[in-house]
Structure 1
Amino acid sequence: MNASRIALVTGANQGLGRALVEGLAARMNPDGLVLLTGRSRQRVTDAAREVGRLPGTRASVEGRVLDVTDTEAIARLAEDLRARYGGVDIVISNAVARVLPEESQAERADEFIDVSNTATHAILRSFGPALRPGGRLLVVASSLGTLGHLDPRLHHWFDGASLEQVEYAVESWRSAVHGGSAQEAGWPVWLNVPSKVAQVAAVRALSAERRAHDLATGTLIASVCPGMVDTATSRPWFSDYSQAQSPAQAAAAVLDLVFAGHVDPALYGELVRFGKALPWHDGTPPVEQDRMLTP
């Protein structure tokens, strides 16, 4: 990887995203730059300033306003980084929409899908070409992202799909939710399951196109499962937090993958949890009353 590295994290004002920025800023060289992004200018500015003042921070930290639901803004930022720095070395797509258990999943579907899926597709499309040799492009998903967590009737939408096919599947799911036919077709009520499967499928799609070139240049594209993390987004969904990690603990395994000197071909394009790939076809469809968000 380049000596003067450029890193970017989405959804980085708080929680895991903030911890990832702190870890990147501590591990990168002093001539590196970490871009902390989020929707609120004030929160982005405050968070970047606070991380910059931490005693362990070595790299520069700058805040950038980025609404990940604005796909054109994502494309503009990628082009800006290519123009200014020749590209980017580390991209971690982490943004997620917060949904509470008492809220209607169907009513929140558009925001959830836009933040988790449409944005993921845009980041892969825009930042894949901007990734410098030896770079890392990681999408934060969860262990629910393996195909087996969906009804078998839905597997054909995502198994071996291209990025365009994943996008079509996501929009078909969205339409089914709004049309009231989602459950009849096999889609689970809980948005997080198909959303995570689609995120992992999108990463697999891009990786399939780039695998030979990326492995030859030491470049890694993958989705990551950080495990159960104690954050404001996930806390409402769990009654037992005894096994939950702090954001800093969860960020550590992701950062170890970022800074690994060698790209393990077995991890390329896969869903990685604590340094190991989760089998794509594993998992069982969740029981609807098991309201699990991000294990």
Structure 2
Amino acid sequence: MTVALVTGATQGLGLALAAGLAQRLRPADTVYLTGRDAGRITAAVRTVPGGGAEVRGALLDVAAPGSAARLAREVGERHGGIDIVFGNAVMRIGPDDNPREIIDDYTETNNFGTTRLLRAFAPLLNDNGRLLVVASSLGTLAHLAPVLHRRFTTASTLDEIDRGIAGWRDTTKQGRVSAWPAFVNIPSKVGQVAAVRVLAAQRREHDRPRGVLVAAVCPGMINTPTSALWWDVSGAPSPAQAAKALLDLAFDPVKPEHYGELVRDGEVVPFS
């Protein structure tokens, strides 16, 4: 039996990933479709076509300390382990949002939520498991001033990544002039990719003989209402179309060069 889980799965790419997993798996398998609102979870589960895996709704607010760990314990007790995890939960922002006002909630979901998910579910990965964090090609050092690179290249633990993100958050809240880019999505995505790299470095020798893949994934531009606030996405893929490459990564044989890296359309996007 295969067990899969998607965070931030009540709409957009997350819902497309949950539906795609269900379609590719068998009725004996289970897909956990998670989110932080029970009503939206129930509604999302109802939209998934039948005939594939069982889709089970579950509450998971990655911004709430303890939420990921609680669900991981439940999954571990029920199934003994997990095979596929997509970390897709994200707080979306618009051009009119003030970074100083939203940065606390933004980092709690996008960054500390990512490291909570990694800590909670990495120990549950079965042989040939996949732990994939949805990030962006903005999450590379090319988008940061060189003076900031060491904050992400010298970290060796998730706690160090968290401290680096907390420092950026505090600088943003205080409105201090610094080398950080004004577009908060960039440091956040760099932090997500760096967290995956740190976890992968710790687990590489353990995971390699077991066929496990830990990676960040970039779905590219997607035609969603939130993206449309920033860019012209009229010609961009739908969430279902964008999900295909990510699902392929979850089901195809592991390529060693993908381990611990940011992957887009099957190719590694260099971190530095």
Match of 1:185 in 2: 178
- Equivalent position SS for 1:193: helix
Q: 2: distance between equivalents of 1:118 and 1:150?
A: 20
Match of 2:94 in 1: 100
Match of 2:105 among 98, 101, 111: 111
- Equivalent position SS for 2:28: coil
Range that drifts further, 248-257 or 96-105: 96-105
- Aligned 1:74-223 pairs, distance under 5 A: 74-162=68-156, 163-181=158-176, 184-223=177-216
- Aligned 1:19-30 pairs, distance under 5 A: 19-30=16-27
Q: 1: distance between equivalents of 2:270 and 2:223?
A: 25
Q: Is the 8 A contact 1:11 1:37 kept in 2?
A: yes
**RMSD of aligned residue pairs (Cα, Å):** 1.1
Q: 2: distance between equivalents of 1:272 and 1:191?
A: 21
Q: Which amino acid aligns with 1:153?
A: V
Measure how far apart 1:65 and its partner are. Answer: 1.3
Matched, 1:38 2:35: yes
**For structure 2, which runs of at least 5 residues remain unmatched after alignment?**
none
Q: Which amino acid aligns with 2:10?
A: N
Match of 2:3 in 1: 6
What TM-score does the superposition give when structure 1 sets the normalisation length? 0.90
Q: Is the 8 A contact 1:15 1:232 kept in 2?
A: no
Tell me which stretches of 4 or more aligned residues in structure 1 moved more than 4 Å.
Answer: none
Q: 2: distance between equivalents of 1:251 and 1:149?
A: 25
Match of 1:248 in 2: 240
Q: Is the 8 A contact 1:228 1:243 kept in 2?
A: no
Q: Which amino acid aligns with 1:218?
A: G
Percentage identity across paired residues of the two chains: 51
- Equivalent position SS for 1:256: helix
Q: Is the 8 A contact 1:49 1:61 kept in 2?
A: no
Q: Is the 8 A contact 1:147 1:159 kept in 2?
A: no
Measure how far apart 1:179 and its partner are. Answer: 1.8
- Per-residue deviation, residues 51-110 of structure 1 (Å, max 9, x unmatched): 1xx15x410001111111112011011111111111111110001112111121221111
Q: 1: distance between equivalents of 2:105 and 2:82?
A: 27
**For structure 1, which runs of at least 5 residues remain unmatched after alignment?**
282-295
Measure how far apart 1:161 and its partner are. Answer: 1.6
Match of 1:61 in 2: 55
Q: Is the 8 A contact 1:160 1:205 kept in 2?
A: no
Match of 2:269 among 260, 274, 278: 278
Q: How many residues align?
A: 271
Q: 2: distance between equivalents of 1:251 and 1:119?
A: 21
Q: Which amino acid aligns with 1:271?
A: L
Range that drifts further, 17-26 or 240-249: 240-249
Q: 2: distance between equivalents of 1:23 and 1:29?
A: 12
Match of 1:269 in 2: 260
Measure how far apart 1:185 and its partner are. Answer: 2.6
What TM-score does the superposition give when structure 2 sets the normalisation length? 0.97
Match of 1:293 in 2: none
Match of 2:250 in 1: 258
- Equivalent position SS for 2:100: coil
